[in-house]
Chain A
Amino acid sequence: MLIIKKYIPLAIVTIVGLLTLATYYVPAKASSAYLSTLNQWEVIVSGFAFLLGLISLLMTHYKKIAKRVDGWGYSLFVFIGFFAVVIPGIISHGAQAKDGVLTSLGWAFRYLYNPLAATMFAVLAFYIVSTAFRSFRIKSVQAFVLFIAAFILILGNVPAGQMLWDAMLGWTGICGIGDIIQWIMQVPSVAAKRGIMIGITIGAAVTSLKIIFGIERQYMGRD
């Protein structure tokens, strides 16, 4: 039983992992053919994973409705939203428009999903402005540096800010706000981002190697 549950999956991961890694460095025809097959498998497997996730989501919300737990009404909307898109999707065979005319799926997308998603995102703007007023208060040197950087970026990111800067400080002959933004984006921002990217990449490489060599086994479950 241990062989089926543990050693065979581990062997598959190690072999496939090493072979896939090798394809990056071996520009042979066999390497391309292997990668091509693997890509097709990946698409098929991810389709099943998607289905599994969907079933899990629906089951979770069905249980919430059945047990009438707090906020079960929101779970009802998961089903309403799901069927409001899936049924038109099946009827229109996944096409959003036919001969220039919107199908029922296209209609659901444009007049349900489109405004709902846009509203969700637009609401953020109100909270950001309100939070900026309440939280952006200079109480330390670090907060002051952050304030200056944010102030310049906000000001320089719109034409009115640039015009304001030019009108107030243009006569001094010091560099324009565009130059300052360029410097912030190309020096401190890039340095920080690069550091984060290098850290993430090293972490991902180490985790991948741990999975390939069977040190990290959480993906196999508890057994």
Chain B
Amino acid sequence: MKDKLRRFLRIDRRWIFLLLTAVMVWPIIHPFGLSGKTSQQSVRDFYDFVEKLKPGQAVILGTDYDPSTKPELHPQAVAALRHLFSKDVRVLILTFISGAPGMIEELNQTVPAEYGKEYGKDYVIMPYNPNYMAAMTQMSIDIYKAYDKDAEGNDVRGMPVMAGIKTYKDIAGVIEITGTGMLDAWVAYAGDKYGVPIIGGTTAISQLGFGPYLQNKQIRGLVGGMRGASEYETLISKPGKATSGIDALNMAHLLVILLILSSNLILLVIKEK
């Protein structure tokens, strides 16, 4: 018996890979519909912030993620943009990550049409800028010196979406969706120094690191990972990719717990150090 248990502890990892594939593919084919219970205060704060915005106000939406973190962050960006458009808020979309323009294009091709939003009037996409520090500092003095043209090379000065916007003073808030350190940068260069409200969306693994900012209200709300995204989708009543993906995530988490518990129980039984 003990030999069998010992052999189980040394199981070929390819069996674990197969098991994980099975438990994740199964709920994707047959979703269970385990909806996320809204329990995180930071997600509700994110939602409340957008909810309190008035029509016509302008918000910066930083989409600093690439395909590697797309399953967690793209649903957050989609949900945030949907919420902003539903409130008739003007949106300035920008990025400092080279892999993000393709993600922004995906947003551009889907979300604005759902709300009948017009490019240049209701939202604008700024070009990729590799130097975030310079751009963030510059926007405190004159946004047009950081972004005088949009991503397609059109002059942004004459666009209705930019009417009355010159510095951070004319911006109601920054929503940053990222798995990088860009959220810290917004806090340091825009939030703390110029008092711009900063809201964030991040990966589950990065979420813990933003605790100090949340406690100090340097970040007013935070959506973390796919779970946070599914909670946000529930709050805006627009179930999307996060809601459908949460089942697979559920199963993967439960498998991890099961494996850890079983390996420790076996160790206890065979009393092996």
Contact = CB atoms under 8 A, between A and B. Distances in A.
Partners in one complex: yes
Interface of A: 24, 32, 35-36, 39-40, 42-43, 46-47, 50, 95-97, 100, 106, 109-110, 113-118, 120-121, 125-126, 128-130, 132-134, 136-139, 147, 150-151, 154-155, 157-164, 176, 178, 182, 185-186, 189-190, 193-194, 197
B34 A160 contact: yes
Given A118-B68, A151-B257, A160-B34, A35 B141 contact: yes
Interface string B6-20: 000000010011001
Contact of A36 (B20, B141, B207, B225): B141
Given A126-B17, A129-B255, A159-B36, 11 more contacts: A42-B133, A42-B134, A43-B134, A97-B105, A106-B102, A114-B67, A118-B67, A120-B68, A157-B253, A158-B34, A159-B37
16 contacts: A39-B146, A40-B145, A43-B135, A109-B101, A114-B70, A117-B99, A132-B259, A133-B16, A134-B13, A151-B260, A158-B227, A161-B257, A176-B39, A186-B211, A193-B208, A193-B211
The DSSP consensus for interface residues of chain B is: helix
B252 interface: yes
Given A151-B257, A160-B253, A190 B227 contact: no
Given A121-B69, A129-B255, A129-B256, A95 B152 contact: yes
Nearest to A95: B152
Contacts of B227: 157-159
A117 B253 contact: no
Contacts, number: 163
Interface of B: 13, 16-17, 20, 34-37, 39-41, 66-71, 99, 101-102, 105-106, 108-109, 129-131, 133-135, 137-138, 141-142, 145-146, 151-152, 193, 204, 207-209, 211-212, 215, 225, 227, 246, 249-257, 259-260, 263-264, 267, 273
B131 A42 contact: yes
Contacts of A50: 130
B58 to A, nearest CB: 21
A159 B252 CA distance: 12
Contact of B131 (A43, A121, A151, A159): A43
A121 B235 CA distance: 28
A78 to B, nearest CB: 16
Given A113-B102, A118-B67, A178-B39, A185 B257 contact: no
Nearest to A103: B105
B101 A96 contact: yes
B246 A159 contact: yes
A-B complex: 6 closest residue pairs judged by Cβ atoms = A109-B102, A190-B211, A117-B67, A121-B68, A39-B134, A160-B250
